[in-house]
Structure 1
Amino acid sequence: MKREEVIRLFPERIRKILQQADWNPQGLQEIRLRAGKPLILWQDGQEYFVAEQGFLTRHREQAYIVSQEEIRRTMETVGTYSLYAYEEELKQGFLTIQGGHRVGVAGKAIMEEQKVKGLSQISCINIRFAHQITGCADMVIPYVTEEGKLCHTLIISPPGCGKTTLLRDLVRQISDGWETFPGYTVGVVDERSEIGGSYQGIPQNDVGIRTDVLDCCSKAEGMVMLLRSMAPQVIAVDEIGNYEDIRAIEMTLNSGCKLLATVHGSSIDEIRKKPLLERLMKEHVFERYIILQKETAGQIGKVQEIYDERGTCLYQRQRSVC
């Protein structure tokens, strides 16, 4: 990602501020705009206010205040990168733009038959910048494959610890294959455009040469659609949890398809207490559990533990034997 790619998303005044500011595209995570509130930038896990003079600061009184007009003009700009699906994607509260970056919005919801039809009077924008960490799944690959076959795998992680990033790289490697492992056909249900980061239907992230991405589709419907139409050997989904997801997972397993999934949580014990997942765990559906955890505030999580289906610890960070 280049600085110019970021700066061009904003109206003239904010563009000039960001041109002067000392920020690193590789470490940039989010830029948040709220009408009448400070311009905020997240970089390397830290929050900064952006001053009108172009410097980053911790003092809110020095921050540039975003106007409602600048919110409107920013939406006009990002909308041109996604006009083909502007209204449809806004129903979900975000747009995905070129580069796989995600523009989240908040404002007044337009309701119809108890469903969100669209958003108007947008007053808050959160641009989350996509970063692919190629190779981040290297250390877990030996644990999620056994005798040349892939294991059903569940990644357990608190929010913001990198579970989607890890899942994406697992998909890439399993799809491409390597010398001792033939590549698998992978179907990705990308409900919030976070795995593939698709723009105009084309994944902007590298998800492998044998991967098919179903973008902006609910996980439950998407899994069934892929099974019927794309004959995947593996299905990958992010953040499972509701009843429909579990039913679709059971259909996936009955089809002989392997499953890669993530769920919010901090431990296996916590996941066992979730009624919908408890039965899957008792039946040893998942053959591997990967636990991610943050060590300190602002840090992306790291793999802490890996367990098999019976709860035997296969890996524990900083220890070679459990």
Structure 2
Amino acid sequence: MEEILRLFPADFKQMIAEKVGNRWGKLEEIRCRLYLPIELIYENTVEWIHEIPPNNQTGMYLVNQLSEFSLYRMENELRDGYITIEGGHRVGIAGKVNTRGGTVKAIQNITFFNIRIAKQRIGIAEPLMPHLFQRNYLNTLIIGPPQSGKTTLIRDMVRMVSTGWNIHNPRKVAVIDERSEIGAAINGIPQHDLGLRTDVMDACPKAEGMMMMIRSMSPEVLVVDEIGGQQDFDALLEAIYSGVTIFCSVHGQSLADLKEHPLSNNLFENGIFSRYIVLDKRTGSYQKKELYDAEGRRLKVFKD
């Protein structure tokens, strides 16, 4: 995890390395708040580093490492509130916001850092894939609360469709990665394995990106993560009517949540999706995944 440790000054690097030890595989987040203990969030526990609280100098060091000593070069990322680093790890930032005309222009005096550890779980989609194919891939919506693994699952679905599995040949896949989480691209190059036939539009708004990819890359499967606003739903409908299969995700606790939301309920009522995958929040190594058909009938429950 050198790409993460390099962000910290030497004394903090040593403390974190010693505290985590051989548990990097279970570490989910490192939260650094100036003048407060560093927080280590694992799959099923939280630990703290109290020895030396980070100060302004520590914060400046982190910012310089993240921006490679050029805040101007990272202007867009800083405005969006996160930066993707080598290895696909995402660093969320917070502090004093500079606005102009009601729009966020920059985050200044960055004093809060959330390093989210990227993990690619190869094979996590394998049990589900046979249920998402009937002569062709089925339009599929993944529903789950934050940190339930929606992006991790959809990433592995992309890899399998793009590379091929069992008797199924590789398909052309287009990923619109607005928040750089699916592929975690650095300078346009995905840091995660997205398969052999995947094209990525990185850091592009979903609604615009879907139409751009359909026109330019002729995908067979189109993938977007965490749809939300009216524009996203309108673009989804346009993409589906163009004949492209859609894999996407949305925040929610259950299928009932989907039905209660005016925008997503419209997709449900019109039978846009043939499959729904509902994720609960992972507890340690355990997670339940429920599979539903277009009418909302539960087909199968997966546990790992």
For Structure 1 versus Structure 2, the TM-score category normalised by the shorter chain is over 0.9
Shift of 1:115: 1.6
Aligned to 1:208: 195
Structure 1 pair 78–37 and aligned structure 2 pair: CA distance change class (3 A): same
Equivalent residue for 1:19, pick from 17, 42, 52: 17
Aligned to 2:132: 144
Aligned to 1:165: 152
CA distance in 2, matches of 1:81, 1:98: 16
Q: Is the 8 A contact 1:162 1:301 kept in 2?
A: no
CA distance in 2, matches of 1:85, 1:198: 16
Aligned to 1:10: 8
Output one character per residue of 1:44-98: Cα deviation in whole Å (capped at 9) or x when no partner: 332110142xxxxxxxxxxx31112101111101211987851111110011111
**Helix, strand or coil for the counterpart of 1:103?**
strand
Percent of aligned pairs with the same amino acid: 41
What does 1:110-125 correspond to in 2, within 5 Å?
Answer: 110-125=98-113
Output one character per residue of 1:195-232: Cα deviation in whole Å (capped at 9) or x when no partner: 10111110000011111111111111111111121111
CA distance in 2, matches of 1:89, 1:41: 24
CA distance in 2, matches of 1:81, 1:276: 43
Output one character per residue of 1:15-47: Cα deviation in whole Å (capped at 9) or x when no partner: 221233243221221111111111111123321
CA distance in 2, matches of 1:154, 1:261: 5
Output one character per residue of 1:235-267: Cα deviation in whole Å (capped at 9) or x when no partner: 111111210001100110111000001111122
Q: Is the 8 A contact 2:67 2:73 kept in 1?
A: no
TM-score of the aligned structures, taking structure 2 as reference length: 0.94
CA distance in 1, matches of 2:70, 2:125: 31
Q: Does 2:195 match 1:197?
A: no
For structure 1, the 5+ residue unaligned runs are 53-63
CA distance in 1, matches of 2:247, 2:134: 15
What does 1:83-102 correspond to in 2, within 5 Å?
Answer: 85-102=73-90
Give the superposed CA RMSD: 1.8
CA distance in 1, matches of 2:186, 2:287: 27
Structure 1 pair 316–75 and aligned structure 2 pair: CA distance change class (3 A): same
**Helix, strand or coil for the counterpart of 1:29?**
strand
Structure 1 pair 273–81 and aligned structure 2 pair: CA distance change class (3 A): farther
Output one character per residue of 1:166-193: Cα deviation in whole Å (capped at 9) or x when no partner: 0000011001112411111111111111
Structure 1 pair 209–12 and aligned structure 2 pair: CA distance change class (3 A): same
Q: Is the 8 A contact 1:29 1:45 kept in 2?
A: no
For structure 2, the 5+ residue unaligned runs are none
**Helix, strand or coil for the counterpart of 1:314?**
strand
Q: Is the 8 A contact 1:82 1:97 kept in 2?
A: no
Equivalent residue for 1:301, pick from 270, 287, 302: 287
**Helix, strand or coil for the counterpart of 2:24?**
coil
Q: Does 2:299 match 1:311?
A: no
Structure 1 pair 50–308 and aligned structure 2 pair: CA distance change class (3 A): same
CA distance in 2, matches of 1:283, 1:315: 23
What does 1:1-322 correspond to in 2, within 5 Å?
Answer: 2=1, 4-23=2-21, 24-52=23-51, 64-80=52-68, 85-147=73-135, 149-294=136-281, 296=283, 301-303=287-289, 305-317=290-302
Q: Is the 8 A contact 2:288 2:301 kept in 1?
A: no
CA distance in 1, matches of 2:238, 2:70: 34
TM-score of the aligned structures, taking structure 1 as reference length: 0.89
- Number of aligned residues: 302
Q: Is the 8 A contact 2:89 2:184 kept in 1?
A: yes
In the alignment, residue 11 of structure 2 is paired with which amino acid? R
CA distance in 1, matches of 2:243, 2:16: 51
**Helix, strand or coil for the counterpart of 1:199?**
coil
CA distance in 2, matches of 1:233, 1:317: 27
Aligned to 1:55: none
In the alignment, residue 199 of structure 2 is paired with which amino acid? D
